[in-house]
Every structure is written in C-alpha cells, then in structure tokens.
Structure 1
Amino acid sequence: MRTNDELVQAEERPTEPVRPRMTRTRLGIFVATSVVYLAIVVGVLTTSWPVRFDWQVMLFRPYKQWPEIHTFLDYFVVLGQRGPTAVAVAAWLGWRTYKLGTLRPLLVLGTSLLLLNATVGAAKIGMGRLGPHYATSIGSNEMFAGGDIFPSGHTANAVVTWGVLAYLATTPRTRRVASVIAALLALGVGMTTVYLGTHWMSDVTLGWTAGLLVLLALPWFEAPMARAEAWLLALWRRVRERAVLVPAPVAPVAVAAPRSPADDQQPAREPVSVGGRSASVRSPEGRPHLPARPHTARSERTPVTPTGSRRPPSPDRAPRTSPLGPAAGRGRTVGG
C-alpha cells in the first residue's frame, strides 16, 4: 500500500515515453513504400511514363499560369529547407527534453536527420539528375548528368522534420493531428517546388517516399538511442559529481586580529627597515602613519671646510709658500 508521499512523488516524476516498436503493420508499410520507391527509380531510368508526365508539367509552366501566388510560395517553400526547419524543431524538442527529463526527443531528431542525409544525399549524387531549368533535350530523363535533385531534398526534409513531431506525440489524438499537419506541409512543399520549376514531379514523389521510409525505420533505432541516452546521462552525472567534489580554489583573505584595551596602551612600535627604507606603521584608526625622522642639530653636522682664505688680501702680508706653515718660517728666522 503506497503512502500519500509516495503517490505525490510518483505523480510528479515524469513518465517514460512509450517507444514505438517495429510491428507487422509498420513493417508491411515499410516494404510497400520501398516497392514504390524502386518503381519510381526504374520508371525514370527507363524513360517511361513518369518522365513523360514530368515534361508535360514542365512545359505547362505553372509559375506562368498563376503568377499572383509566386511571392507567397517563395516563402512557403522555406518550410522544407533543412536549416530553418531543423533549428525550429530542435528548439521545440529541446524544451520538451527539459520538461520530460529525457534526451529521447533530440536523439530521435538527430537520428532521423542523419538517416535522411545519408540516404537522400547518396541517391542525389549517385543518380545525378538535372532539374527542369537545366534540361538539355525534351523527353530525356536527364539522369547521370551531374545534377543533384532526384529525389527532392525539400520534400523529403518536410516529411521527416515535421513527421518527427507526430512520431514523438504522447497521445493517439495528438499523433493523428500532428500526422495530418505534417502530411499537408510535405504535400504543399513538394507541389511548390514543382510550381517554381525547381523539381520534376517524379523528384517530388520520390522525396515523399524517401522521407516516409526514414520515419518508418526509426523503431529499429530505438534500442541504440536508449543506450546512447543512458551513456550520455551517466557521463553528465559524473561530470557534475566531479565538479562538486573539486571546489574552485579560493584566494586567502587576511583577517585582522581584534585589538584589546591593553594593545591601545602600549607605545607605538618602531618602524621596521626594509631595503634601507623604514616601513610605515598604521594607526589604530587604520590610516598609514610615517614615523618622525630624527632632526640633527646644527652643531652636530659635519663641518665643511671652504676652499681658500676668507681674509681680504693685504700688501704687507707675505704669501705662504712653505708647506710647513707659519711655524717653520719662524724657526728659520730665529736660527739666522
């Protein structure tokens, strides 16, 4: 029997989302979609009815039939461009990751975009089809001519990017609504590329099937994504624990010892000579106090002997030429 606290904790704890499995129905749809994919490729390679229909639509030139919607569709087609759509969906799924406490939404988006780039990119480069604006001869399939438009990347990206939101929905009703919105966006982006003349109609149909195959194959990657999530969360916990156990170094702060009344009655300490100069001593109020320098009396100063005689010159006085001074001169006079 659970207590009230345990029930409250269980309600507050985020529930683990249900991971889709590869059921028989999903596997059957995957196989049927793969057959359609191969049929479109074979039809274009053999220059059969898909190529004839491509040329009929191209020569009809939809952008000239309805020029008034050209500006709107120029902006609408951005919903299939990989960069802006990936950033918008990643921001939403990042917030869901924070709320649910799981990395699965971002891992599903990253895995689906990786599969999309690998499969669609390889098909584009391998078949090298030219677009309608670069076609060389009427009725040709324009394959292996150095192009990169087969299948349509905008269309496949619209299917995968918006379809991931439906794949990650947590309730059946939300999944149905998201699936319808994603299908309409993918349909609109694909037909917009045909209207603008940047893709053949067969490019768009192959883009739809290529994006759908990526979404249908995601359950096969749920187990690797779960292992990757567990490894990333464990790594994050180790990093946080290491950051907590090893605090950042703190510089020591000098704290002045409290003064007692006895310290105030003691005489001031003599300054300490440091490097030939006396260091200053701080007063009890904290102001620097320089010690008084001793004043030397005039009588104690070192006398300075002036050069030459201070008496004025006299014509009666003989100059001192003897190095012995006056005493030596007087001696010589007495002796003579």
Structure 2
Amino acid sequence: MRTERNLTRLDRVFARLDREPERPAHLDVPRMSRHRVVLFGATLAFYLAIVVAVLVTSWLVRFDWQVMFFRPYQQWPEIHAFLDYWVVLGQRGPTAVMVAAWLGWRSWRQHTLRPLLMFGTALLLLNVTVGAAKIGMGRLGPHYATVIGSNEMWQDGDIFPSGHTANAVVTWGILAYLASTPRTRRYLSALSAVVSLSVGLTTVYLGTHWLSDVFLGWAAGLLILLALPWFEPLITRVEAVIFRVREAWRDRRAGTTAPAPEPVPAPVGVPAIVQQRPSAGGEAPAREPVGAARTTTRPPAYLAPGPHTARSERTPVTPAGSRRPPHPHADRVPRGAASARPMAGG
C-alpha cells in the first residue's frame, strides 16, 4: 500500500524555511559598470533640467498649474478612498519597517549584514540629499500656493522634490538591487517601478504635490539606487569590522564566564595525629603530622602490602582433588575399629 503523498507548494515553502541558514557561495553584487555610469549621468542631467525649468518658471510650471486647476480628486472621486491608503507605500516610516524586517530575515538566513547595511546607507543618502533639496529650495505645495503662475520657490516650503516619490523609488528599488539572481532583479525592478510611479501620481491626484515635484522625486530616488555600487567596498569593510568586534566580544565573554577550578578544602574537624620517627644518633624523635604532604604514596587500605598484578596477568591455578569441604567429624574413629592407643608396659 502506498502511503506517500505529493508535496504541495506550501509544503515545499515550509521545507525550505526549515533548512539551516546558509550563506550563498556566490552573491550577485551589482558593479558600477559603464552602462550604470551612463544612466547615472543621464539621470543627473534630468534632475538638473527639472530644477532649472522650475527656477525660470518655464512651461513646466504652467503645466503644474493646469493640473492643479483640473483637480483630479474631483474628477474621479470614487478612487479617492483607495488612493488614500495606496499613498502609504511612499511614507518612510511604514515602508522602512516592512522592508527592514524582510532584509533582516534575509541577513539571518544568509549570514551576512550586507542587506541591512545597504538599506541603511540608502536611507541615509535619501534623507541627506532629498532633505537638503527640500530645505534649500523651499517650494510651497498646491494647497498653499499664493500667486497663480509662480513657481512658489523660496517660500519656506518643503515640497520640492516629492519625498513620497523618492522614498518609494529607494525603498522598493532596494529589494531589486539586493536580489540574488538577475531574473529576480528584473521582476522586482519592474514591480518597484510600477509602485513608485503610481505613488508619485497619487500625490498629484490628492493635490499634495506639483507634477514637477514628482518628476524630481523620481530622479532623486533613481540617483541613489544607481550610486549604491560605489558604496559596496565600504559596506564590505564595515561588515568585516562588525564581525571582528562580535568575535572579540564572544571570546571575552567566554573567558570571563568560564568557572575557575576551586581548590579542594582540607577536612574540617579531623584532629592532626602526630607520629614519631626515630632519629639516628640518639637525637629526639622528629614529629610529623599525618596530614602533611608526602612524596611516597601508600596503597589503599583494602589492598594487602606487596606488589599486585592485574587479573589478566595472573597464572590460572586448577585446584587438585575434590572441592568438597572436609567433614566436621572426620577425625573420629568408627565403632568396632581397633583403637590406636599405645600399649602400656614393655
């Protein structure tokens, strides 16, 4: 009778999770290739072009105002509730927690800190670059615009570039960057592109950002992803230092927590017995306590004095005669037998 059953997809997933954590032998780490350098340069040029177009109040600023007056949230109010939740995929707090949890699990499975360190580096670059641009240009959003047709720059705002859009590009794009295989990287790149584009357009729909803010946010996030291979050597060195510190801490902890051998205490309550040894030359006998250390060792009390051999070294002896014990009255003379008494006289 056949008792085996076919494994389902869920069974195979749990079987994969039950395996011991192991570090892949070959991690596909992206390199700063010539193609990536060209993309980085093109994205940087696009970034600067958007900034200049807004500063000079070009056609892009006029298009921003046209979209704002169109009010997409009034044109399609039925999707407003859904997009209120969808835009959360661009908020830094919730997305950072979700992605950090996933990358932490990957770090544990692969015995490497590279995913977490690379994600932390990307978030640091995002906060520094995007935050500096927001504060430096100080543009106001559509809800707080003051003059129709103006670029609303240097008004103490913090809307340019779009932080939701840049965060969506970096947070979901880092999953594609850290993918183990090229095929997985392509799929995750397409998925992160869809999410980041939709989040950016959602902010325009809700009226919280100009369209040019979204363009600059896409460029800012893409610049960070393209620049990450330059930080790979630094990440490798930092990971090695962390592992060395961890091993040193473990060795120090093991050395301090190891129990030291305790000396054997002397017996308490046993009086010291003094033995006298005769001395030569008629001198007084020297006294030596029994408990003093001696150079010679005595055999245990249960062994008779003399050399002792192991049981396997002894010569087997076969007893002669009967093994039956002698009769207790064997020395008696049976009745009727002549007595062996000596005869008196001569």
- Tell me if TM exceeds 0.5: yes
Q: Distance in 1 between matches of 2:255 and 2:171?
A: 41
Instruction: Report how many residues are paired.
Output: 243
Residue 12 (structure 1) shift:
5.9
Q: For residues 123-202 of structure 1, what are the structure 2 equivalents within 5 Å?
A: 123-202=133-212
Q: 2:239 aligns with which of 223, 229, 248?
A: 229
CA offset digits 1:59-110 (Å, max 9, x no partner)? 0000111111111111110000000000000000000000000000001100
For 1:289, the equivalent position in structure 2 comes to none
Cα separation, partners in 2 of 1:248 and 1:59, compared to 1, 3 Å: farther
For 1:98, the equivalent position in structure 2 comes to 108
SS in 1 for 2:257: coil
Query: Which deviates more, 212-221 or 234-243?
Result: 234-243
Residue 16 (structure 1) shift:
4.3
Unaligned segments of structure 1, at least 5 residues: 1-10, 258-336
Q: Distance in 1 between matches of 2:47 and 2:145?
A: 23
Preserved contact between residue 22 and residue 110 of structure 2 (Cα < 8 Å): no
Q: Distance in 1 between matches of 2:116 and 2:95?
A: 14
Q: 1:42 aligns with which of 27, 52, 75?
A: 52
Q: Distance in 1 between matches of 2:139 and 2:52?
A: 14
Q: 2:124 aligns with which of 96, 114, 120?
A: 114
Q: 2:35 aligns with which of 25, 46, 49?
A: 25
Cα separation, partners in 2 of 1:137 and 1:249, compared to 1, 3 Å: farther
SS in 2 for 1:246: helix
Q: Distance in 2 between matches of 1:108 and 1:101?
A: 15
Superposed CA RMSD in Å reads 1.8
Q: Distance in 2 between matches of 1:97 and 1:12?
A: 10
Q: 2:249 aligns with which of 239, 256, 263?
A: 239
CA offset digits 1:255-289 (Å, max 9, x no partner)? xx9xxxxxxxxxxxxxxxxxxxxxxxxxxxxxxxx
Q: 1:67 aligns with which of 73, 77, 93?
A: 77
One-letter code of the match for 1:65? Q
Q: Distance in 2 between matches of 1:16 and 1:118?
A: 32
Residue 14 (structure 1) shift:
3.0
Residue 241 (structure 1) shift:
1.4
For 1:203, the equivalent position in structure 2 comes to 213
Residue 246 (structure 1) shift:
1.1
Residue 248 (structure 1) shift:
7.2
Residue 181 (structure 1) shift:
0.5
CA offset digits 1:193-250 (Å, max 9, x no partner)? 0000000000000000000000000011001110000000111111111111111779
Q: Distance in 2 between matches of 1:188 and 1:244?
A: 53
Q: Distance in 2 between matches of 1:115 and 1:249?
A: 48
Residue 18 (structure 1) shift:
2.8
Preserved contact between residue 23 and residue 109 of structure 2 (Cα < 8 Å): no
Unaligned segments of structure 2, at least 5 residues: 1-20, 268-346
CA offset digits 1:98-139 (Å, max 9, x no partner)? 000000000110000000000000000000000000000110
Percent identity between the two aligned chains: 69
One-letter code of the match for 1:183? A
CA offset digits 1:132-178 (Å, max 9, x no partner)? 00000110000000000100000000000000000001111100100
Q: Distance in 1 between matches of 2:26 and 2:219?
A: 31
